[in-house]
Structure 1
Amino acid sequence: MNSSVDPAGAARQVAKNPWFERAARLGYAANGVLHATLGILAAVIATGGKAEADQSGAMRTLADQPFGMVLLWVCAIGALLLGLWSLAQAFLPENKVRERIKHAATSVSFLAVGFTFGRFAVGKPSDSGKTATSFSGEMMKSGLGRTLLIAIGIGLLVMAGYYIYKGVTRRFLKDLSGSRHSEVSRAIKTSGMIGYPAKGVVLGTLGVLFIVATVQGDPKEANGIDGALKTIQDQPFGPVALIAIGVGLVCYAIYLVFRARYDQMD
């Protein structure tokens, strides 16, 4: 009896299962909930309030709401399902190499988000800002580590440029199947055109902070999204810019909810 496992066959069973695909769409909605909360926290900071506007702060805020723990579990399951579905797509030999790499990156991202949601759901939260600072501090102890940190910063800048480009050119529409309702189509276009550049600005600022922290040898500078948003706040017209980014992140969240319904999933 042949007990060997066929990765491509197993991946195909997951990737081509219509029920699994429908359930995995929940991951986009979970990401939308996360970004909407980040946008609200960014606005709180901009108006002089105290908030931790990063992944951990957003999940902690969600946990404190009525039915927050239920929401965390739903988001955890959705993100993990989408991560597993994307991982299966990455193993399909019929997909192009570029598509498989894209799905692999998406898988890592959503599995990480899903596990973080899960940690908060079971009462074992983490601090993403401290994690980023600790990671940077360890990497700065060697020349190779500093090189990798700068590479991460450059990678984030490239991603930022792509997000801005994707929003301005409406390239994100290629990911979706069209809606028959003109009002929905307009809402998708508007939310994507505002949301993608806002996410790009946050990623770009985070990339700059990684590079600056490495050059200055100060890991505290690389303290995640919260640090990036507070750096924006400290600039001239920073509060206004931060409110605009907060609105943009909420728009991106709205787009992600639409994406949960209309993504082509291929």
Structure 2
Amino acid sequence: MVSTPDAADVSQAGRKAGRGARDAAHSTPVRVAARAGIAANGVLHLLIGWLAVQIALGSGGQADQSGALGAIAAEPAGRVFLWVLVVGFAAVVLWRTVSAVWGFHYVGDSTKRTVKRVVAGGQAVVYAVLAVTAATTAVSGRASSGGGGRATAGLLGLPGGQVLTALVGLGVLVGGGVMAWNGYRKKFTEDQDLGGADSRLRRINARTGQAGYIAKGIAIGVLGILLGVAALTFDPQRANGLDSALKTLREQPYGVFLLVAVGVGIACYGVFCFLDARYHRVD
């Protein structure tokens, strides 16, 4: 007669699996790799900021993560460096996934803790996409393009796709606004342990974080508006990711100056990531 596990056995196995995942995510190698992944995100944002400024000044290029990864791949030993980024991004995915389930015990308010866990889950998805994009670029040696347009086209092709796209656009617009507001209020410091930082580093951390979050919030907000326009016109190419958002900024009155300012702000976010890699709580 074959015995079947009872509920207690299943529960105990689940707890063991959970402890194993937490231990793995909080191990020294993963902590180090996660910090390296945050720093790698800084490299990408420095490149995106530089590409945005180049576009503002009239050069071509793709000012988004794919464009930045393609710029890395074009350099000597760039494809090797991309695989290093893949490892770092994958470590961040593990860390953020575990944080989304069990993390942020240092936050006393249960509602804030829940919000932070939801955000951590979103960050796990973002870094997973970065890891896949970096790996794809490392294999092919060149950046992909048009991914945002294809994703929007897929969404528009669903039943009720225009409404869904408009709702996603509204969510992205709100998300961009929240990011800019959180940057202005320096909310990002809540997840940092700055006890060992001197006053000069604290100021640099605060200023680059503020500029970076506000600049990214503006770019994301523009992308949300473009998704709304894509829904109204049924034209997915109106919302071809961050690159479209930045190029739309350039087309506005005084757009060159606006895009340069946003590009510099995104580069500031890259500098902030280097500091965040050192001071972000990874417990």
Q: TM-score scaled to structure 1, two decimals?
A: 0.92
2:74–2:141 contact (8 Å) kept in structure 1? no
Is the partner of 1:53 in helix, strand or coil? Answer: coil
Which secondary structure does the structure 1 equivalent of 2:102 belong to? coil
State the distance in 2 between where 1:262 and 1:160 align: 24
Show the counterpart of 1:87: 97
Give the corresponding residue for 1:106: 123
Aligned-pair distance for 1:257?
Answer: 0.8
Q: Distance in 1 between matches of 2:103 and 2:97?
A: 12
Shift in Å, 1:149 = 1.2
| Structure 2 gap segments, 5+ residues each | 106-112
- After superposing the two structures, state which structure 1 stretch, 13-22 or 164-173, moved more: 13-22
Match of 1:149 in 2: 165
* Identical-residue share of aligned pairs (%): 34
**Alpha-carbon distance in 1 for matches of 2:103, 2:207:** 36
Residue 216 of structure 1: how far off its partner (Å): 0.9
Question: Where does residue 23 of structure 1 map in the other structure?
Answer: 33
1:116 aligns with 2:116: no
Q: Which whole-Å CA distance do the structure 2 matches of 1:99 and 1:237 have between them?
A: 37
Please show how residues 39-188 of structure 1 align to structure 2 within 5 Å: 39-92=49-102, 96-123=113-140, 125=142, 127-128=144-145, 130-178=146-194, 179-188=196-205
SS in 2 for 1:91: helix
Amino acid corresponding to residue 124 of structure 2 in structure 1 = S
1:169 and 1:90, CA in 2 relative to 1: closer, same or farther beyond 3 A?
closer
The 2-side partners of 1:249 and 1:94 are apart by 27
TM-score when scaled to structure 2? 0.87
* Alpha-carbon separation, structure 1, partners of 2:129 and 2:148: 14
Structure 1 counterpart of 2:84, one-letter code: V
Residue 70 of structure 1: how far off its partner (Å): 2.5
After superposition, the C-alpha distances for 1:134-185 in whole angstroms (9 at most, x for unaligned) are: 2222322344222221121111111111111111111111121114322211
Return the offset for 1:258: 0.5
Return the alpha-carbon distance in structure 1 between the equivalents of residues 181 and 279 of structure 2.
Answer: 21
What is the CA–CA distance in structure 2 between the aligned matches of 1:241 and 1:115, rounded to whole Å?
A: 31
Root-mean-square deviation over aligned CA pairs: 2.1
- 2:224 matches 1:214: no
Q: What do the CA deviations read for 1:57-87 (whole angstroms, capped 9, x no partner)?
A: 1111111123322221121111111011111
User: In the alignment, which residue of structure 2 is the partner of 1:13?
Assistant: 23
How far apart are 1:125 and its partner, in Å? 4.9
Deviates more, 1:39-48 or 1:174-183: 174-183
Structure 2: distance between partners of 1:165 and 1:248: 15
Counterparts of 1:191 and 1:228, CA distance in 2: 22
What is the total number of aligned residue pairs between the two structures? 265
User: Unmatched 5+ residue regions in structure 1?
Assistant: none
Pick the structure with greater CA Rg: 2
